[in-house]
Every structure is written in C-alpha cells, then in structure tokens.
Structure 1
Amino acid sequence: MSLFWSVELLTSPNKLDFDIIPHAMPLPKRKRIRTFMLLFCIVTFATFLFSYTFRDPSLYFFKYAFRLPDNLFSKGACACRRCMAEPEDDPWFTERFNLSIHPLMTSGNSLLSDDTFKWWQWLQAESHPANYTEVVEELFQVIPDEALYADGSPERCRTCAVVGNSGNLKGSQYGDLIDSTDIIIRMNQAPTAGFEEDVGSRTTHHVMYPESSVDLDNTTHLVLIPFKTLDLQWIISALTTGTIKHTYVPVTSRIKANKDMVLIYSPTFFKYVYETWLDSHGRYPSTGFLTLLFAIHICDKVSVFGFGADQFGNWHHYWEENHLAGAFRHTGVHDGDYEYNVTLLLADKHKIQMFKGR
C-alpha cells in the first residue's frame, strides 16, 4: 500500500488542531509512529541540553541529578564537577577566599609582619620567646623546605575528607567513604583502631600542636599548628634530642613521625583564618576550623565528617561515652557556635559537603 501524508483539520468547539497522520494506516501503526516521534523529540531535547551543559557548566542539572564522574564536568580550574573557586561565586565567599596566602610555612614565606608576629605571640602569652628567625632557620634544617599543594590544574580533582572527632560518627558507617578520598585529615587524638567502620582507617595528614601530640606511622604527614615560637622549638626537639618537655603544661618530649613529612601551619594563614573567616570571634580558631580552612585551600572537593553534636544534641568525642557530653564545645577560647555557623554556610554554598552522622 502506498503511504501518503496529509494534514487533517480537526475541529472542536474550542480550538483548531493540525494533526499529521498517515492516510489509510491502521490505528495501532499510527500509535507506534506517534510513540516513536515522541521518543525522538525527548532524545533530541536531552542531547541538546546535555551538550549545552558542557558549553555552559552553570547548568548543574546533570551533575547533581545523575552523580556522574567528577572529571566529566570540568570547568577548567579543576577536573571536579564543581571546583572550590567558581567564576559565579557569591560575594561572601569571593571576598574571603584568598589563594595567595598559603596555609603552610616555608623559609620563603616565614617572615611575619610586625602585626602578625605580635598577634601570634599573644595567643598563648609567650613573654620571652627565642629568636624567631633563628628558630625557623634551624627548623628547615630538620624538616623539608617545600612549597606543597600549589599544583591546581584542569586535570586535577583532589578530594579531601576532614574528619572531626564528634560523637556523631558513632554508628555512622562512613569508614569506606572516608577512606575513598585522596587526602584524609584528622586532628589531635583521633584514634582509628576499633572505629574503622565509622571513621575509616587511612590518615594522610594529622593536625596537632605540642599539647595534643600523638605518634604517627611513617606514611602520615604531621601538620603542626604552632601557637608560639616555643612550639617550633618543640617540633625540632621532638624529632631530634627530646630536650623540651614542658610548654605551659608537660608535653611529650619525643614523637614518632616521619621528619621528611612534617608540615608547619603558617602563622600568617592562622591570622587570616581568624580575621577573614571568623571576623575575629573568640580568642583564636579551634583546631577543627583551622583544619577545615586548610582543606578548603588545598583541595578541590571537601567532605566534612564528625563536626557538631550528635542526634541527641550531645557534644563529645566518638571514642568517649555520652556522660562526657559537652567536653569540647565550650573551651573558653573558641567561639564554637560562630565557627559551626560558618561551616554550615560553606555547606549551604556547596563549598563543602557535610556528613552529620548520627
């Protein structure tokens, strides 16, 4: 049978419709053709939208709806679906985020302005500090003097997990997710043995200060947050002679750590976090907040675990019992509520992903 196409004018009391149908074709075949045409239109539209998303990644529909690989939607700054620094960022983040201030100290950026040095020495009231310049010179004879993590590129998608110590990690079963990231940062005591299912087993960077120091394995970076010149002297001593045994409290005189993987948190960056991100709330930032901002400045994608209270509103460490609730929220020097609100704001702006556990 020959197939002819015609336009039939279908009238109704309210409208005129033009319907293209095949002449003398059975109804089932018409339905199949109409179905095919509908599917063809859907596929064409989806293909157009998908290709448009590649040209203009400000459309994130596919990124968030289908969980596609990170490097599929590279914008150029990094290979993740969404990079830490986005061209369309809102003013609040843009005016704070400053990649020119590096989180880690090297001999090249160790010189402190008078204002920064005075503020830093004031943190723990070091009244008679040693000569800072001489201590820094000795420090970089013991540990490497390298500028790390300044290697951002369109090919890199560095994923990082910042693992806090909140009791909300208990029963969370985040272990495998944490261990799947490139960089895993823990802080202070943070045991993993016996808690692997919830907190993971890998650690690439462990943040501490002399009074919270723990031994590390040979593959983990020790990231020291110094609050005074004596802290820099302590890390030199702890890796060599073991002569310093007291700061303002007794401290571990020797520490097990790979001296070739020791990093020093920059006092300049420390002050930048306090003034720019916390608007000078509290006496100085907590270790957790300093660690979070460290990750934001070296990573392309940051996931945060173990921050905040548990589901019952208790504030305690995941290795402690609930009767110690409140043990680390109110320290007298940190504004925990302000820090947590800034952390939530970063999550709301899709700069970090918060995993709140149980």
Structure 2
Amino acid sequence: MLFASTMANARGCLQEGKRVARRMLNQRRTKVVLALCLLLALWQCFRALMDDFGPVPWAPSLLHTPGVPCPARANSSVWFNERYEAAAGLLLTGAAQELSADVVQWWLTLQGPMNGVQLQAIIRQLFSVLRAPTGDVLDPPRCRTCAVVGNSGRLKGSSHGLLIDAHDWVLRMNRAKVAGFELDVGTRTTHHFMYPESAVNLGPGVHLVLVPFKPLDLQWVTSAFSTGEVTRTYVRVKQFIKADRNKVLILSPAFLKYIHDKWTQHHGRYPSTGFTALLFALHTCQQVSVFGFGADSEGNWHHYWEENHGAGAFRRTRVHDADVEFSIIERLADEGRILFYK
C-alpha cells in the first residue's frame, strides 16, 4: 500500500511538473509574440510619420538613405538588354488606338475566342467610371524601393515581415493573406495585383492593379465599381469590390504580350500574376526585393496560408511555366537586378 501510494504521488508530481513547464513555455512564447507585435506596431507608426512628412534627413532606413541618389544599377548584360524595353507601356490609358492589332489578336485568344467584341467601347466605358492614369502616377520622386511579395509557402517562418514593410512600395497579388502572418509577410500593401477570379477587397489607399486576361475583365472592374451587373466570367466573381476607385490601375495587354514575347518567350500561355508584378516593379522601382517565389524548403509548391493542400496545382495547369519564370528570377538576382530572398 505504501509503495503504491508513493508511486501515485510521484506520478501526480510528475504530471503537475509537466503542466507547470508547459505554462512557463506558453508564457515565454506569448511574451515573444507580444514583443514582436509591439515592434511591428512601432515600425508602422514610424512609417506613417515618414509618409506624412516626406524624406527626413535623420530618418534611418534599412534600405537606403533618403535624398541620396540611387546606387548605380548593375551593368546590363546582353541577356538583359535583349529582354528589357524601358519604353514598354505598362498601363491602359484610354488613348485612342493604344493597342496594336497584333496585341489585340493575341490577347483575345488567351481565355477563349472573343468574337464580335467592341473593345474600344469597353475601354471608353471603363474610363467613364474609373479615372485614367496621370502621366506621373509611376514616376519615382526619389530612389524607390519595392518589395514584390509572392504567395509561396517558403515565406512561412521566414521572419521577413519587418524587411518587407521597410520598402516604399509593397506589391502583393491574388488572394494573399496578411492577418495571422504578419511576422513573415509584413503588414503593408501599396499595390495589389488581381484579376476577377482572384479578387479581394482592399483597405484604403491601396492601388488595385487589374491584370486583364480578357475583355470581360475590363467589363468586370467597370461593373464592380458601378452597376454590379457582371457576376460571372468562367466562374462566379465578386459583384462589387471594396477598394479606392481613384487608385485603380489597369495593366495594358501590350505589357502582358511584351512579357510573353521578351521574357518568358512563349513558355506557357501567358505570364503569371506574380511574374507580371515583378516585371512591373522592375520597370517602376530603382531597387526591387523579391520574396515568396518558388517551392518551399521541402520542394512543395503551395501558398503560405495553406496546409499544402493541392500542392503543385500552379505548375500542373500549364497556363504558366513556373520553372521558366523561376529561372528568370534567379538570373535577375545573379545579375544584380533584384534582391531575391529565398
């Protein structure tokens, strides 16, 4: 009896010890998370002050010093010069006949034949609802730093959040999630690239950047800010969208064709949204940092907010050539055109 009682007491003490240890461990974890969240909040307050007051001589930066000329770009290689066109038109502006016949012919076949489309009428209607871009909407006032944040699972556990938020522009895409992943992906967004089937509501001050793969996409964004009459493309889409209508930007189909011709060189049917955002940054920013592209550390292709369901679906569609796009990103990094955080 005495032995049994002693053993029971010992087991009880051991279990109580484990519970105490778990509580202590959870408390430490909670303190670490709270400290990191406080650091993020303080950084956001600092960024907000800087955005209000503009460049301040004493303000430190993780990336560059305000007022100092941008560092010289890397010497262009033959490979880069054969692909990069500084004069490539990025945005749809509503100007008469801004899309050439070969661009229109290519674009109309991306997601099925579009016979009888009155394209100019669609564009006119678009810019009767939304503001046409001004000439200086993309011009950098100083050395602009940009973070292009992909959706790869390799972002999980990366702790890149503060570094991402330190950039002037933060570009995200499709259904990218921030809440719950702030430590790895940051909290700020300045430009969000999407198409109707991947559309999400945006916070104030964020540029909705439409990547149009068909004329119906232009009709959708017009409708989403006005009548709400477009509710389906090849799937059901958002009837209305919450976003700043004065900050909407429409990528030009000519820009998509330029990427397809010059960069991916007809690998895949058309470039992915992420790769398109990266090329947009390459044309508008003096320093480009790239996060969250490619497979995770175990070779899986999936989104950072998923538990690896349907891993590799992005590659299996064959709409985009993920391997070719990834190899171009690595080449750009090797040549010093971008900073690639793996």
- TM bin (shorter chain): 0.7 to 0.9
- 1:286 maps to which residue? 272
Report the counterpart of residue 47 of structure 1 in structure 2.
none
Of 296, 305, 325, 1:339 maps to: 325
Q: Percent identity?
A: 52
Find the counterpart in structure 1 of residue 139 from structure 2.
151
Alignment map for 1:63-142 (pairs within 5 Å) = 70=64, 79-83=69-73, 88-108=75-95, 111-128=98-115, 130-142=117-129
2:239 to 220, 235, 253: 253
Find out whether 1:235 has 2:225 as its counterpart: no
Judged with a 3 Å threshold, the aligned counterparts in structure 2 of structure 1 residues 110 and 313 are, in CA distance, closer, same or farther, namely: farther
Supply the distance in 2 between the matched residues of 1:150 and 1:181 (Cα, whole angstroms).
Answer: 16
Using the alignment, how far apart are the partners of 2:128 and 2:232 within structure 1?
23
Are 1:298 and 2:284 an aligned pair?
yes
Aligned length: 281
Residues 25-40 of structure 1 mapped to structure 2, 5 A cutoff: none
> 1:176 Cα deviation (Å)?
0.4
Give the gaps of 5 or more residues in structure 1.
1-66
Normalised by the size of structure 1, how large is the TM-score?
0.75
- Give the letter aligned to residue 79 of structure 2: W
Match of residue 39 from structure 1: none
SS of structure 2 residue aligned to 1:329:
helix
* Deviation, structure 1 residue 279: 1.1
Larger radius of gyration: 1
CA deviation after TM superposition for structure 1 residue 325, in Å: 2.4
Cα distance in 2 for partners of 1:323, 1:253 equals 28
1:199 is matched with which residue? 185
Counterpart of 2:170 in 1: which secondary structure?
A: strand
Asked if residue 325 in structure 1 is aligned to residue 319 in structure 2, the reply is no
What is the aligned-residue RMSD (CA, Å)? Answer: 2.0
Answer whether contact 1:167 1:310 (CA < 8 A) is retained: yes
CA contact under 8 A between 2:270 and 2:320: conserved in structure 1? Answer: yes
- Deviation of 1:324 after TM superposition, in Å, equals 3.6
Cα deviation code 1:249-280 (max 9, x no counterpart) = 11111111111010001100110000001111
CA contact (8 A) 2:63 2:145 kept: no
Per the TM alignment, residue 141 of structure 1 is displaced from its structure 2 partner at its CA by: 1.7
* Distance in structure 2 (CA, Å) of the matches to 1:224 and 1:188: 10
Deviations 1:57-103 (A, max 9, x none): xxxxxxxxxx99745997xxxx22233xx5x3111112221121121
Cα distance, 1:126 vs structure 2: 3.6
User: Unaligned regions of 5+ residues in structure 2, if any?
Assistant: 1-60
Aligned residue for 1:116, secondary structure, equals helix
Greater helix proportion: 2
User: Which structure has the highest strand share of the two?
Assistant: 1
Give the Cα–Cα distance (whole angstroms) in 2 for the partners of residues 211 and 68 of structure 1: 36
Q: Is the 8 A contact 1:71 1:81 kept in 2?
A: no
Q: What is the rounded CA distance, in whole Å, between the counterparts of 1:221 and 1:69 in structure 2?
A: 23
Shift of residue 105 of structure 1? 1.2
CA distance, structure 2, for counterparts of residue 207 and residue 158 of structure 1: 19
Alignment of 1:178 with 2:168, yes or no, is no
Is contact 1:161–1:184 with CA below 8 Å preserved after alignment?
A: yes
| Cα distance change, pair 197–150 in 1 and its aligned pair in 2 (3 A) | closer
Aligned residue for 2:298? 312
Summarize deviations over 1:146-178 as a string: whole Å, max 9, x none: 2344535xx721000000000000010000000
Structure 2 length-normalised TM:
0.78
CA distance 1:263–1:247, shift in 2 (3 Å)? same
Structure 1 outlier segments of 4+, above 6 Å: none
Q: 1:269 aligns with which of 255, 259, 283?
A: 255
Partners of 2:262 and 2:63 in 1: CA distance? 33
Shift of 1:317: 0.3
Give CA deviations for 1:18-39 in whole Å, capped at 9, x if unaligned: xxxxxxxxxxxxxxxxxxxxxx
Letter in 2 for 1:82: A
Letter in 1 for 2:204: N
